[in-house]
Amino acid sequence: MNSNPHSKTVLITGGAGFIGSNFVLDWIAQTGGSVVNLDKLTYAGNLGNLESLKGDTRHVFIQGDIGDGELVRRLLAEHRPGAIVNFAAESHVDRSIHGPADFVQTNVMGTFSLLDEACRYWQGLNPSERERFRFLHVSTDEVYGSLGPNDPAFSETTAYAPNSPYAASKAASDHLVRAYHHTYGLPVITTNCSNNYGPYQFPEKLIPLVILNALDGKPLPIYGDGLNVRDWLYVRDHCEAIRLVLAKGRPGETYNIGGRSQRANIDVVRSICHLLNELRPRLGGDHASLIGFVKDRPGHDRRYAIDCGKIERDLGWKVRTDFDTGLRETVAWYLANPDWVENVRSGNYQRWVDLNYNLRGRQ
């Protein structure tokens, strides 16, 4: 984009979810730019994440589906964004195992519809606007499959090998994004990130689930032997990387974004327990005594790791937040925001926990 990439409005899809809402908050805080925020408000979308923007004219929220071509067309015509950043996705592996159809609908068909409208809009821009426009698609490292303990980390040239319905649906969306660039010339960029953590994360994911279960004195369920390894990326570092890619990334390119913080799941859980022992001691003793192992997830990938050398070399991005610091900040945020926690822990959420963890039984 041009020397002032943040001078125009951006359309953010999925901007009430975990990563999307953090990006919206950081975008407005860091650039002062305006955001049109399109979110379907499914179970993981939460306007409470954006409460601090209430009344801020730089943030326009619209509840709707990226698959609604007529709505997207109207928003593009009305707001004339200089970029689209697509966070909208069904994003939980376990939910994709229980109900894959929603993932195909949103991640594949929804992305296709959004691309189609974006391409039509882009083709109608004047030459200088066409030159500056970007479509940034936010994806995941899970499209690359699973690594062995000594395999090199995923790079941008790693072959796709998705192993879950979620990963397969994201792989399909990545391929559609690539195709729209090579076929129609749409200036797209794809980012593939590792596991995010931080404020506003819906509590079915590992870190918030463990924090909140521990506070309630409930079991801390760990899949299998707990030795599955993930690369952990603090969400605000991720948001900074996306802003940089949007400003300086080359159309048609993919950039992997990782945290350089590989940890086994069991070690992450023990670290959370250690922090809670310090910050919120438990009358019954060590929070780690709540740890229990449950039947493993079907097709559970053993290890993910991201080689983020390309974005470091080409764009000058660096991880700012080490895992220990980010985890402490995350635990402190959940402790400081009990009202937010209560608002998201609905009956539907509890039924999901029962289905996915409690009914598996302990090993």
pLDDT digits (tens, 9 = 90+) for 76-111: 999 999 999 999 987 655 675 767 888 898 999 999
Backbone angles phi, psi at 140, to 5 degrees: -135, 155
Tokens of residue 142, six digits: 């899970």
Please give the Cα distance from 71 to 65 (Å, whole number): 8
Name 63's bridge partners: 39
Q: What is the mean pLDDT of residues 257-266?
A: 97
pLDDT at 4: 45
pTM of the predicted model as reported, rounded to 2 decimal places: 0.92
Residue-range domain boundaries for the chain: 10-197+232-261+299-323
For residue 59, the one-letter residue type is: H
pLDDT at 2: 40
Domain 10-197+232-261+299-323 has CATH 3.40.50.2300: no
Query: What's the pLDDT band for 1 if we cut at 50, 70, 90?
Result: very low
pLDDT at 203: 86
Q: What is the mean pLDDT of residues 119-125?
A: 98
Of 142, 231, 240, 307, catalytic: 142
Please give the Cα distance from 271 to 265 (Å, whole number): 10
pLDDT digits (tens, 9 = 90+) for 31-72: 999 999 999 988 778 899 999 999 999 999 999 999 999 999
Q: Which residues contact 105 (CB under 8 A, 6 or more apart)?
A: 67
Classified as helix, coil or strand, 232 is strand
pLDDT at 301: 87
- For the question of residue 65 being annotated catalytic, the response is no
Burial 238-277 (b: 16+ CB within 10 A, else e): bbbbbbbbbbebeeebbbbbbbbbbbbbbebbbbbbebbe
Assess whether pLDDT exceeds 80 at residue 7. Answer: no
pLDDT digits (tens, 9 = 90+) for 127-167: 999 999 999 999 999 999 999 999 999 999 999 999 988 99
pLDDT at 356: 47
pLDDT digits (tens, 9 = 90+) for 284-320: 899 999 999 998 878 788 999 999 999 999 999 999 9
264 near 305, Cβ under 8 Å? no
Of 90, 117, 141, 174, catalytic: 141
**CB 146: neighbour CB atoms within 10 A?**
18
pLDDT digits (tens, 9 = 90+) for 194-241: 999 999 998 888 999 999 999 999 999 999 999 999 999 999 999 999
Q: What is the mean pLDDT of the chain?
A: 91
pLDDT at 3: 40
Tokens of residue 312, six digits: 């470091």
pLDDT at 91: 63
- For the question of residue 166 being annotated catalytic, the response is yes
- For the question of residue 142 being annotated catalytic, the response is yes
pLDDT at 68: 98
Tokens of residue 132, six digits: 């500056």
pLDDT at 351: 54
